[in-house]
Structure 1
Amino acid sequence: MVTAWTLDVPAVLVVLVLAVLYLRAVRRQSTWPPGRTAAFLSGLATIVLVTCSFLAVYDTTLFWVRAVQNIVLLMVAPLLLALGAPITLLLRSAPAPVVAGLRRFGRGRFARGLTFPLVVTAMLAAPPLLIYLTPLYELTLDSSIVDALVRLLLVLAGFGYFWTRIQLDPTPRDDSHLVSVWISLAEVILDGALGLVLWLGPLLAPAHYDALHRNWGPEPRTDQIIGAGVLWIGGDLAGLPFVGALIIRWARDDERRAREVDARLDEEGAAGEAPSGGLWWENDPALAERFRRR
């Protein structure tokens, strides 16, 4: 686990390019939170760790190693990348025509449909189900090209989910944070269902693992049970930082709205305007439209 390393050239090149572009964009900003830079670079480092460490050396030998790799690429690395607010940085540093095009795309129907809550839920939940409940898993073991594409799609799917849920960057939709909580609960249920299927179900890719003639480590059934636990419990544990970030973001948005309401009330008081009659929520700018009397 310590000495087994390999070099995934495509992954390392992509990570280096993204790191250079991000740092160059940061240098052009007069102010940029260092925490965002640290988060984004940590996400890139996580991708290198998953694709070059023992997790890459043994990902076709042990089922549980592949499970760890997939969870990190779907849940951990994308969350760190999203916390780096790369889209905000891109909008601040890209040429004006590029920014205008991105904003037009973000306001379009396709982008809004792609970021609909049910779509992003499927974006996070579907990849593990497709990998482990279809022949795709065995293909990733036997084809390096398929394996690389699946890794890329895992990172993109995870980033799409966390980008739209944390809303640190501009998003096509402004959904309530409560929607993210319900999506997280649905993801926990699906993780448990997949874990049970892999724990109690038949062995995956038995011909591949039998051909290895491995005489060390856990036997195939135990190996798959460990991997099922990784996907079940590990997936939920990997989602805890997201829940924490979501709660922090939710609290900050509430504080911002409270300041806006206080400022509006202060302006009305200074202008000598008396608040209109009715219950308090009928005078709250954030709730008036929803609860106004017909």
Structure 2
Amino acid sequence: MVTVVAVASSPLPPLSVMRTLTAWRFAPGVVAVAGGLVGGYGAGVRRWQASGKGPWPRSRTWCFGLGVLVLLLVGCSFVGVYDDTLFWVRAVQNIVLLMVVPMFLAVGAPLTLFASAVSPPVRTRLSRVLHSRPAVLVTLPLVVTVVLVVPILVLYMSPIYEATLRDPVVSGVAGTALAVAGFVYFWTRFRIDPTPRPGSHLVTLAITIVEVVGDAVLGVVVWLGPLIAAGFYTALNRQWGPDPRTDQLLGAGVLWVGGDVVGLPFIGIVLARMVREDEEHARIVDAVLDRGDAGPASAGAEELPGAGAAAEPGTAAGRLWWEDDPQLADRFRHPR
């Protein structure tokens, strides 16, 4: 039997294994956001297919749908029911909103669909904004790292955390801010959607290390620091479950380890995209070389002593054209 909890602040029974499966609530804000995401994405897919660009990849649709499903789970399942009662449950919710939900949404490439759904003039204006200098500066690796790490640090190290427990509006705003910060990070790091700057997957892996350190710092501070929102949790007069100190220790472990665990599929996606882009670049290079080999034999004549053929513009005499190409020279450099 499913138990529906309408008011999160009402006395709750102990959180048992059965309750993790049967405790649900209706969260209008979460449901509205999820419905808007699904409706917008579905409209974008239909517009993409109607434009004759071919089928939209199902893997992207599944990933986006999984992100929406996870959002519903952390808002409406036992996580949403007990998020104002147990510190560690709120920690799970915040980590998922920051790391899991936006990661799957970003893999779904929603910005590409959005661009295909708007009119050409609007698309042109958006492209100008996307490639403007402010957009490039905001998406610098250092900036997006700060965007990912700082919000959750501020949340737990300031009175904002207790305010999220007392006011559902503040809680919704804070959760939205975490999800947006996470999306900006994953959008610019995966580069599935167009981004203001190309970036580097190697830099992304380095940023991941910084993020791991940030999780560790937050976990240690919460672990060793004073009780957070002690007055609120004491006023609940909860007679079951872990005591406030143990509850916070469990939450510190979630904040510390949870982000690192979520980072594993992130690293896997980055590595897969790095290999795919390298293979695509290799195919482009091979195609360019094949076209060069199929052209006139004048390139080969340059290597013959006494050949009178003039070198191509910008190419030193006696050198092949690809030796001066910045992308091809390193791959086919002559041994010294």
When the two structures are superposed, what TM-score results if normalisation uses the length of structure 2? 0.82
Which of 80, 95, 111 does residue 119 from structure 2 map onto?
95
Post-superposition Cα deviations, 1:10-53, rounded to whole Å, max 9, x if no partner, equal: 12112102211211221231410011111111111111111111
Whether 1:149 aligns to 2:173 is yes
Which residue number in structure 1 is paired with residue 160 of structure 2? 136
Whether 1:12 aligns to 2:31 is yes
Which residue number in structure 2 is paired with residue 258 of structure 1? 282
* Rounded Cα–Cα distance in structure 1 between residues aligned with 2:40 and 2:169: 26
Give the match's secondary structure for 1:35.
helix
Which residue number in structure 1 is paired with residue 21 of structure 2? 2
Q: 1:188 to 1:287 in 2, by over 3 A?
A: farther
Deviation at 1:81, TM superposition (A): 0.2
Post-superposition Cα deviations, 1:96-124, rounded to whole Å, max 9, x if no partner, equal: 12211211111111111111111100111
Post-superposition Cα deviations, 1:222-276, rounded to whole Å, max 9, x if no partner, equal: 1111111101111100111111110010001101111111112222222232498
Query: How many pairs does the alignment contain?
Result: 289
Deviation at 1:284, TM superposition (A): 5.7
Is residue 145–residue 185 contact of structure 2 (8 Å, CA) maintained in 1? Answer: yes
Structure 2 gaps, min length 5: 1-19, 304-315
Normalized per residue, which structure has more helix?
Answer: 1
Which residue number in structure 1 is paired with residue 110 of structure 2? 86
* Rounded Cα–Cα distance in structure 2 between residues aligned with 1:68 and 1:21: 27
Q: Which amino acid aligns with 1:216?
A: W
Structure 1 gaps, min length 5: none
* Rounded Cα–Cα distance in structure 2 between residues aligned with 1:131 and 1:44: 23
Identity %: 51
Look at both structures and tell me which one has the larger radius of gyration over its CA atoms.
Answer: 2
Which residue number in structure 2 is paired with residue 220 of structure 1? 244
Is residue 64–residue 223 contact of structure 1 (8 Å, CA) maintained in 2? Answer: yes
Whether 1:231 aligns to 2:258 is no
Post-superposition Cα deviations, 1:32-84, rounded to whole Å, max 9, x if no partner, equal: 00111111111111111111111111111100000000000000000000010
Which residue number in structure 2 is paired with residue 187 of structure 1? 211
Q: Which amino acid aligns with 1:92?
A: S
Which of 176, 187, 204 does residue 200 from structure 2 map onto?
176
Matches within 5 A, 1:34-183: 34-183=58-207
* Rounded Cα–Cα distance in structure 2 between residues aligned with 1:12 and 1:101: 31
* Rounded Cα–Cα distance in structure 2 between residues aligned with 1:286 and 1:236: 35
Task: Name the Cα RMSD after superposition.
Answer: 2.0
* Rounded Cα–Cα distance in structure 2 between residues aligned with 1:287 and 1:155: 41
Q: Which has the higher contact order (CA 8 A, sep 6+)?
A: 1
Deviation at 1:283, TM superposition (A): 5.2
